[in-house]
A and B are shown apart, each in its own frame.
Chain A
Amino acid sequence: MTIFYFTLKRSFANLANLIFLTAAPIACIFLPAGEGWPPLAYGYAYFGIVILFVAIRLAQIMMEDRVKGILKRLSVAPVRYFSYLGQHLLAYAVILILQSAVVVLGGWIAGQELHRPWALFALYVSFSFAALAMALAWISVFRSKDAAFLFYMSLIVLAALLGGIILPLEIFPDLLRRIAVILPTFWFAEGLKSIASAQPFADNVRINATLCLYALVFLVLGSTRRMQ
């Protein structure tokens, strides 16, 4: 578990990362609620975007390993690439799960209307997995850290908009609403809606399962071993 331990350590080593990883979720707790939209308070919708950003920032650590040649060094050491990948992802998942817990727990203590905190927590966790897997697949294509991050940032904004996190899907034209379903962000927004409108439990399961499916797909695509 050396890699796991040090990944955690590195994630928090950078001051900017530290602020980003702790302050952003806490800020999300205290954002106000809107009128009719979004289904939960603003912060709970925007936390989805935060998760996407955190995921790419964390995944960049792996990208750095590849670009700087640490991966070469590891491939000469008696460590399987699979174990390297697994321990990294585990560490990131732990960070994201903790963040989700902080947001849900904090909201519950601060008296936000969360409807079903457990379902919300589960939604955040499965969305975190999907976000991590997407970030992993994304960085496997790039060589430059900045380019990867800025590109992804633009895509996040677009996906959040098209997926219905920033604006309600109901006002979208028909075609856009259909296309939105392709995006994982849609399923996240859908999950929030389902929690707020007290849909049956099975509905939540369906949405979480879809998000996990996304995670699997991108994990398979992103786990290719690259050296350069």
Chain B
Amino acid sequence: MSLRTERTWLANGWRLLHFGFLTYLWIGFDDAENTFILLLLLFLLTSLRWRFELPAVFLLPDILICVLYFPYTSVSYYALALPIFEWAQRGRWPFSLSVFVALGFVPFFSGWLLWYFVLALFVGFFLDRYARNLEQWKKEADEQRKARQELERVKAELLEAQRSVSKQAELTERYRIARQLHDHLGHDLTGASLALQAHAYAEDPEEAKSLLQEVKSRLERSTHSLRETVHDATPVAPIGIENLERALLHFQEIDVSLRKSGDLLSVAAYQWSLLEACLKEALTNIVRHSDATAAEVTVQVAGAIVRLLVQDDGTPRENNAQSESGSGLRSLNMRARALGGSLSTSADNGFLLVCVLPLEQEG
């Protein structure tokens, strides 16, 4: 849309210059009132061309009018430059060349006339090329936009897949732990419990002693296996809020305070990874685009959502801040949406980023 207007803007510029030149010629060299009507007629045709997309054939009236005025005024020769330009502009330059034939009929052959025609041809030709190039670029831009959208869609699907995978992994792990507990711990504990019951009814002290011994060894074994299970299940890398805290610890450009509330354990790991990405993006943005001296990060878990708020006290530097940081936020927005949440930013009162994600329903 804007590309086309740009092109017509240039064409209109040339048309206006052309009429300025004709008027100058007319005032300077030929002041017959009647020949001014020639200019008016041509101007009418040109403004029609400006308003409506007319086919190239509609340049014939221009030529006809000029030819009719040949005997009366020399301005009409120069006026032929307009059809030359218009045809060249539409990529029909052979037609333009045919107008040069008119030079043969000019009673006084002027070099200026020839050069003016050549100039019009050249400008028209240039505009044609320019328009084609623009067309090409536009097409490429469209294709790229399409490709980007495709990518974003794939990304969303991947995110969805990641979410289900991580959930699957969690379930698997839970199952493994449950089985381990059942297999070793459960077995031993049940045994110990039975042995204790038997001990209560045991009359023979020797038997009671051996039962107690069994209880002891079973409990020892189960303690051991419990320790092992817990050790296996405890992650080595920090997760959840610790990760966010660590990110803040490493970030020392400005003062950042963290407030948290609610039951942070109900937030799933894949959600933490998004929140962490948001936090990092926000902090980078603050450093890069604003003069903030302090920022406040709030993580709230309440009811069915988790909410991350990053607010700084700076005034964002206007101009390109928006566009530069756009792609990062855009992708985060996509991810947030893929997880059923939303992300929005505002620069009204310091930089503010809000990311809201729904929590998994328990059970």
- Residues on A facing B (Cβ under 8 Å): 175, 177-179, 181-182, 190, 206, 209-210, 213-214, 216-217, 220-221, 223-224
Spot the interface stretch: B39-47, B67-75, B224-232.
B39-47
The answer to whether B40 and A214 have CB atoms under 8 Å apart is yes
Q: Is B261 on the interface with A (CB-CB < 8 A)?
A: no
**Other-chain residue from B31, B40, B48 in contact with A220 (beta carbon distance below 8 A):** B48
The answer to whether B41 and A175 have CB atoms under 8 Å apart is no
Question: With A206-B34, A223-B51 known to touch, is A217 a contact of B27 (CB < 8 Å)?
Answer: no
What is the CA–CA distance of A179 and B27 in the complex, to the nearest angstrom?
7
Number of interface residues of B (CB under 8 A): 15
The answer to whether A182 and B47 have CB atoms under 8 Å apart is no
Interchain Cβ contacts under 8 Å between A and B, 29 examples:
A175-B27, A178-B27, A178-B31, A179-B27, A181-B31, A181-B36, A182-B36, A190-B33, A206-B34, A209-B37, A210-B36, A210-B37, A213-B37, A213-B40, A213-B41, A213-B44, A214-B40, A217-B40, A217-B43, A217-B44, A217-B47, A220-B44, A220-B47, A220-B48, A220-B51, A221-B50, A221-B51, A223-B51, A224-B51
With A213-B40, A221-B47 given, can you name 15 additional A-B contacts, CB distance below 8 Å?
A177-B31, A178-B31, A179-B27, A181-B31, A181-B36, A182-B23, A206-B34, A210-B36, A213-B41, A217-B40, A217-B43, A217-B47, A220-B50, A221-B51, A223-B51
User: What distance in Å separates the Cβ of A118 from its nearest Cβ neighbour in chain B?
Assistant: 23
What 0/1 readout, one digit per residue, does chain B (10-33) give for beta carbons within 8 Å of chain A? 000000000000010001000101
What is the CA–CA distance of A224 and B51 in the complex, to the nearest angstrom?
7
Residues of A with C-beta under 8 A to B43: 217
What is the CA–CA distance of A138 and B41 in the complex, to the nearest angstrom?
20
User: What distance in Å separates the Cβ of A132 from its nearest Cβ neighbour in chain B?
Assistant: 16
What is the CA–CA distance of A223 and B48 in the complex, to the nearest angstrom?
11
Residues of B with C-beta under 8 A to A221: 47, 50-51
Q: Top 4 nearest A-B pairs by Cβ distance?
A: A220-B47, A178-B31, A213-B40, A217-B44
What is the CA–CA distance of A213 and B33 in the complex, to the nearest angstrom?
14
Residues of A with C-beta under 8 A to B31: 177-178, 181
User: What distance in Å separates the Cβ of B295 from its nearest Cβ neighbour in chain A?
Assistant: 40
